[in-house]
Amino acid sequence: MFSAAATRIGVVRYINTLPMIAGLGRLEGMQLVPDVPSRLIGRLASGDVDLALCSVVDAVRGEVPALVVPVGMIGCDGRTLTVRLYSRVPWERVRTVAADTDSHTSRALAEVVLCRRFGAAPVFRDFAEASGARDPGTDAMLMIGDKVIADAPAAGAWAHELDLGAAWREWTGLPFVFAAWLARADMDDAARARVRTASRVLDHQRRHNRERIAAIVAREAAPHGWPPDLAREYLGGLLRFDLDATARAGLACFLQECHALGLVPTADVPRDFDW
């Protein structure tokens, strides 16, 4: 039972978040509120949570002004394995895309890569408006998260496949940031104190879990539908969890590309929370 003063942290249950959040649920004063990335910005705006692991595009187009809490991220510097485009036609000919609704950043990245790199002009629609995730009746399909591994389309079902992390790195030479911790810029003093305390905990837990990847994989790979060897490569080799200078450069470039397409109102990277 958490007290009224517990810090409410919006989290995602994909395996890729575990190096940042594994163990947090056992700590006194930390209340984890799970949801998919695309809905966490709404929870932050409504006050359901004090901070949340949100899609980075939501930092600049959410309902409330946001600060980046610089104690971790979900990113990559090449392949992701779990943010994937499938297409029936060559990329430059893609006109319709059925998009997974779990991540606003992944959807924006798919649009940036298709439009800016390949010169396509696609229309996106949610899976809920398509005929089903396996065969949505569109030129292309975007899938993200554990389902790309646990429930991927059959080999050869789509003529073309593209890992969007690899596509971004090949195109820009930069790493990519999918999600970061966000807090409201207009929080009151009580919330600010909770976020400051949680920031220190999150920073410590990320560093601690970095040394526990093998144990996390042994415990969590099967429940998430991952082969252990692939999960170990994914968490220990492919993903990045530190919001360092190169990651920030990739984020700035991404927001500029999104702004050029009218996907975000500004290309300015949000300020950091002073923790």
- Cα–Cα distance between 242 and 3 in angstroms, integer? 31
Residue 130: what pLDDT? 52
pLDDT computed for residue 3 by the predictor: 43
pLDDT at 1: 34
Q: Which of 84, 69, 53, 20 is nearest to 240 (CA)?
A: 20
Q: How far apart are CA 95 and CA 115, in angstroms?
A: 10
Parts of the chain with a pLDDT under 70: 1-4, 128-135
Predicted local confidence at residue 62, as pLDDT = 78
SS3 9: strand
pLDDT given for residue 129 in this prediction = 54
The residues pairing with 272 across neighbouring beta strands, listed in sequence order, are 68
pTM listed for this prediction: 0.94
